[in-house]
Amino acid sequence: MQSDEVGCMPGTRLRVLSMLMDWARNEPTRIFWLAGLAGTGKTSIAVTLCQLMRRDQSVIFGGAFFCSRTANISERMNARCILPTLVVTLANQSPMFATALAKILKTDSHAALKPIGVQIATLLQQPLVAQAPSFHPIIFIIDALDECSDEDEVKKLLHAISTLACDTTVKFILTSRPETHISASPISNSDHNSILRLHTIDAREVTDDIRLYISNAFVKSPLARPWYSEANVTTLALLSEGLFIFASTITSYVLKVQSVKGRLNRLRTVLSAVQDSKVALGPLDAIYQFVLSRASYTAEVEPEELEATLRVLACILAARTPLSVGALAELLGLEPDELRESLGRLHAVVNVPEKDDLPGLRILHASFGDFLISRRRIQPLLGDETLARGCLRVMRERLHFNISSSRSAYEPNPAAKPSSIPLSLEYACMQWINHVADLKEPRALDKEIDNTLRPRLLFWLEVISVLGRVSQAAAMLLLAASTVSKVIIQ
């Protein structure tokens, strides 16, 4: 859901935004925790809030960090990356803070790599103490904390934020699902922090907002003659049960076709299917079940094609960095058009870039990945195993002597650029060991790893060098040595 779509909504959403802005300007508490179940619109609110903060002269918008499991960027699942990112953003806006931070980093240049407690003291607290207190509160936004992979690191971050001490008013707006490790942290103390739980707001108000969202989406995509009724919109809003991701997925699915007949068919089909299964599954699972069933409609899709689609989805979920259609296709041993065919009916839940070489292939919402795993449509480690084998195969096929076309073994090659390394090979060289390490039985790949890397180790190192990642090579090999029984370097 786009921020402008939320911004145009009256009622609950605007009241929440108004509440957050008023809190940022006036309230004495350090933390505002916006909690909500999957699909209740937390990220949409956070995105719109960022836009409002940038325009508001009564606060200093320090920056935002959007955690994400679906972006396929490991840093966005790492709680240790949050504070360094935020202080860099603040430094770009505040010359005084930037000067104070630069002085501190001269004496401790590795502060960003240290534990979170040290990070907040060194990168945020000390620079703020070293400068004159700001007359305006500094506001940071951290979205989707529950999507960070290490729960202990999240707890440390919340403790560090709660105990920050300086004369300048620093505030944090945090959004997350009400997961146990977050609910049990200091931010759940309503005596010291402000809390709003989206899923406890009056359902009728939220339904009105969702009805308007669906109506606006349909109006913005008109056809030659009417194809829906207000009764249809009301029914969809009621079926959503307060979940904006339900409404977003439905509208995306229906509006994907550009004919009156096509939209009518999709609208009728989805209304019938979701109404039939909602009682047993709940609204979010019901819509995901529907989208997946349409992708595997037995009259058009063979069982092996469905299996291939689920394997692709497992790999998209397991990918460590953004992949393109072309790169994932090569890792899976497919042609790009075969991969696109597998995902052809899933555009409502999967972002598929238009160009084969454009990174950005990802699940649109983490709840769809939860559905796939919790409903046992895919096995949790299927993606890691598939990508581990794919990475090793791509390295065997792609790695070769002098891959950077260097003219000398003793001098840097100015012509060697990261862009000369195909994304599939870059991903394979950087991520193969991470996928192997996550397997239950990584040593099942011992022989394959040995056959791949032993004769090509120097070729692999050359790629790592061209990518500018030599500093990571030793750690990767040490992880390999501790994970597999055949030590590669002997």
Are residues 268 and 329 part of one domain?
A: no
Radius of gyration of the CA atoms of the chain, in A = 25
Looking at the predicted structure, is the pLDDT value of residue 136 above 50?
yes
The verdict on residue 56 lying in a domain is yes
The predicted model gives 144-156 an average pLDDT of 93
Across the chain, mean pLDDT equals 87
The answer as to whether 69 is a domain residue is yes
Residues 196, 225 share a domain = no
Q: Would you say residue 11 has pLDDT above 90?
A: no
Among 200, 219, 254, identify where a domain stops: 200
Residues 127 and 172 reside in one and the same domain: yes
* pLDDT score, position 416: 63
325 and 284 in a common domain: no
pLDDT at position 7? 37
Find the CATH number of the domain harbouring 117. 3.40.50.300
In a domain, 384, yes or no: no
Check whether 53 has a pLDDT greater than 70. Answer: yes
Tell me the CA end-to-end span of the chain in Å, nearest whole number: 53
Shared-domain flag, residues 182 and 229: no
Mean pLDDT of 130-144: 90
**Residue the block writes with tokens 């534990």:** 115
What are the pLDDT digits (tens) for 210-262? 999 999 999 999 998 999 999 999 999 998 888 888 898 999 989 989 999 99
Among 250, 270, 295, the domain boundary falls at 295
The pTM for the full model equals 0.77
Q: Each residue of 295-349: pLDDT tens digit?
A: 765 555 567 777 888 899 999 999 999 899 999 999 999 999 999 988 888 888 9
CA angle 372, 378, 383 (to 5 degrees): 110
User: Count of domains in the chain?
Assistant: 4
Question: Is residue 178 in a domain?
Answer: yes
The reply to whether 336 and 457 lie within a common domain is no
Query: Residue 104: is its pLDDT beyond 60?
Result: yes
Task: Note whether 98 and 13 are same-domain residues.
Answer: yes
Same domain, 166 and 261: no
Express each pLDDT in 372-388 by its tens digit: 888 778 888 999 999 99
Instruction: Provide CB contacts within 8 A for 443, sequence distance 6+.
Output: 483, 484, 485
Give the residue, 43 or 416, on which the prediction is more confident: 43
**Are residue 65 and residue 207 in the same domain, yes or no?**
no
Mean pLDDT (whole number) for 139-168 = 93
Interval 416-444 mean pLDDT: 89
- Asked whether residue 463 is assigned to any structural domain, the reply reads yes
Looking at the domain assignment, is residue 209 inside a domain? Answer: yes
Residue 315 domain flag: yes
Taking only the tens place, the pLDDT of each residue in 401-411 is 988 877 766 66
With beta carbons less than 8 A apart as the criterion, state whether 115 and 78 touch. no
| Domain assignment of residue 387, yes or no | no
The confidence score (pLDDT) of residue 17 equals 92
Q: In whole angstroms, how far apart are CA 168 and each of 60, 194, 236, 300, 429?
A: 11, 19, 47, 63, 45
pLDDT score of 428: 97
Count the residues in the chain: 490
pLDDT of residue 55: 93
Which pLDDT value is given to residue 383?
94
Which domain covers residue 410, as residue numbers?
392-483
Q: How confident is the model at residue 291, as a pLDDT?
A: 84
